[in-house]
């Protein structure tokens, strides 16, 4: 992070005990805090926690390396199988340890404190088979700024964050850094929140008993008129401030029509809970960030600008061992490469009709320099096309590269080859085609 890089101030976070949790707020309903840690999903099978005991317990847990806390195996769905597997591992490794069913389920707050102890002040906390990161040793009782550093304007992925940091001491020299892997994201967002206030974060529990139900899309305006829904802004239609009991009266007819008529309409159910208070700020702000107050302490949530995945957290220390910065390493090279791959699969490829309609495999693949935005440069031929066919536009179709990969998985191995590459199918694999 340098002074020339563009920054975005996202908000602040307040930590009553100096302990921070980094979590996807959209997964907040799975955080059960200090209560029963079982999943709120009714269809989930019963899960138990196993405790690892014995003279070599910690060493065995670390070497077993199935979860992040070496003393426990959390959220186990088949305890008998897990106990037997761990026993076989210890027997083979010559370790005196065993796994037993814990006397009580371990609450998520206790897991967080275990993670701090096991990870020397920072670690992964598992909650309902999801991951957050907990960091201790931060200042208590004062608000810490949360700042994002953007990739440069001339970068191909400009506008996305290279890193996001919770700043403790901007002037301190960093002499040691530790990476924790990592925070699981399923809704494209992150939240920095104190461990204790996190227990007040509510989803599906509106404080005022009200909710909004909104929709948008190509067919939205016509259907809104027919159903008596209000126009809420330039693109959004629906109903605001509905009593919870009345939401279904509006939602069910709309969703039935979407299914029956295959309408181009997207919907969103927005109960007036903490998540919606945060999301309303994210939607309405150029910073795509917001803050909520939980039990008197401020928490900061934001769009990570990269989507879903597992993101590393880096804890920076100064010479005295103080935590001076906590970095969310959202835009590292691995993340950038993952997004490039996603973008590439959404681009168009020219595919022979002999492949699409005739059932032929793509025996020949060639990548040229793209000639327009959204063009992957790839062309796929069956090898049965004659000169007349190859010169006819009707003999080819423009198809998303991802669809080609879905239908012919072997193509996945070559899609990132550079322009100028050519391949032919040999058996079930592609090999370079030297004749092109």
Whole-angstrom Cα distance, residue 432 to residue 367? 12
52-89 confidence digits (pLDDT tens): 999 999 999 999 999 999 999 999 999 999 999 999 99
Asked whether 256 and 248 are in contact (CB, 8 A), the reply is no
Instruction: Give one DSSP letter per residue of 112-144, joined into a string.
Output: HHHHHHHTTSEEEEEETTEEEEEE-SPPSSSEE
Whole-angstrom Cα distance, residue 334 to residue 316? 20
Q: What ranges do the domains of the chain cover?
A: 1-31+120-198+274-331, 38-106, 210-272, 347-432
Beta bridge partners of 302: 190, 289
The pLDDT value given to residue 3: 43
Q: Give CB contacts under 8 A, 24+ apart, made by 276-284.
A: 276/206, 276/212, 278/25, 278/191, 282/189
168-227 confidence digits (pLDDT tens): 999 999 999 999 999 999 999 999 999 999 999 999 999 899 999 999 999 999 999 999
79-134 confidence digits (pLDDT tens): 999 999 999 999 999 999 999 999 999 999 999 999 999 999 999 999 999 999 99
The topology under which CATH files domain 210-272 is Alpha-Beta Plaits (3.30.70)
Nearest to 240 by CA among 248, 249, 229: 229
The pLDDT value given to residue 390: 60
> How much is the average pLDDT of 410-431?
95
Asked whether 320 and 184 are in contact (CB, 8 A), the reply is no
Q: What percent of the chain has pLDDT over 70?
A: 97
347-402 confidence digits (pLDDT tens): 999 999 999 987 899 999 999 999 898 999 999 999 988 766 666 668 899 999 99
Question: Residue 241: is it exposed, middle or buried by C-beta count within 10 angstroms (0-12/13-18/19+)?
Answer: exposed
Answer yes or no: is pLDDT of 42 > 90: no
The pLDDT value given to residue 394: 82
Answer yes or no: is pLDDT of 331 > 60: yes
The pLDDT value given to residue 2: 47
Asked whether 204 and 271 are in contact (CB, 8 A), the reply is yes
Name the more confident of 272 and 342.
Answer: 272
């Amino acid at each position: 992070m340098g002074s020339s890089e563009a920054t975005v101030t996202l908000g602040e976070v307040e930590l009553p005990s100096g302990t921070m949790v980094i979590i996807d707020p959209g997964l907040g309903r799975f955080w059960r805090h200090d209560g029963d840690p079982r999943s709120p999903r009714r269809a989930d099978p019963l899960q138990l926690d196993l405790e690892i005991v014995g003279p070599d317990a910690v060493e065995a847990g670390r070497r077993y390396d199935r979860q992040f806390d070496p003393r426990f195996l959390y959220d186990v769905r088949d305890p008998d199988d897990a106990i037997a597997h761990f026993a076989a591992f210890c027997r083979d490794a010559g370790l005196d340890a065993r796994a037993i069913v814990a006397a009580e389920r371990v609450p998520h707050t206790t897991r967080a404190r275990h993670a701090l102890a096991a990870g020397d002040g920072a670690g992964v906390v598992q909650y309902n088979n999801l991951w957050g990161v907990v960091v201790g040793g931060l200042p208590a009782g004062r608000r810490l700024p949360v700042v994002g550093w953007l990739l440069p304007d001339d970068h191909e992925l400009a506008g996305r964050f290279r890193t996001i940091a919770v700043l403790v001491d901007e002037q301190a020299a960093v002499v040691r850094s530790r990476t924790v892997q990592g925070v699981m994201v399923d809704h494209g967002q992150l939240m920095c929140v104190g461990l204790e206030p996190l227990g007040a974060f509510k989803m599906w529990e509106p404080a005022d008993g009200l909710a909004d139900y909104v929709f948008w899309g190509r067919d939205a305006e016509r259907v809104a008129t027919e159903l008596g829904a209000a126009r809420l802004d330039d693109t959004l239609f629906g109903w605001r401030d509905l009593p919870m009991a009345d939401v279904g009266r509006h939602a069910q007819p709309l969703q039935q029509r979407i299914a029956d008529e295959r309408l181009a309409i997207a919907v969103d159910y927005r109960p007036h809970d903490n998540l919606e208070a945060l999301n309303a700020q994210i939607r309405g702000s150029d910073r795509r960030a917001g803050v909520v107050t939980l039990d008197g302490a401020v928490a900061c949530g934001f769009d990570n600008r990269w989507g879903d995945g597992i993101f590393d957290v880096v804890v920076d220390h100064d010479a005295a061992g103080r935590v001076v910065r906590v970095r969310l390493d959202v835009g590292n090279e691995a993340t950038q490469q993952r997004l490039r791959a996603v973008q590439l699969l959404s681009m168009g490829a020219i595919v022979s009709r002999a492949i699409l309609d005739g059932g032929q495999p793509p025996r020949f693949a060639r990548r040229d320099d793209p000639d327009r935005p959204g063009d992957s440069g790839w062309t796929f031929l069956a090898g049965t096309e004659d000169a007349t066919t190859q010169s006819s536009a009707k003999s080819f179709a423009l198809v998303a590269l991802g669809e080609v990969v879905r239908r012919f998985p072997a193509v996945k191995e070559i899609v990132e080859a550079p322009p100028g590459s050519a391949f032919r199918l040999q058996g079930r694999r592609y090999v370079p085609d030297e004749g092109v």
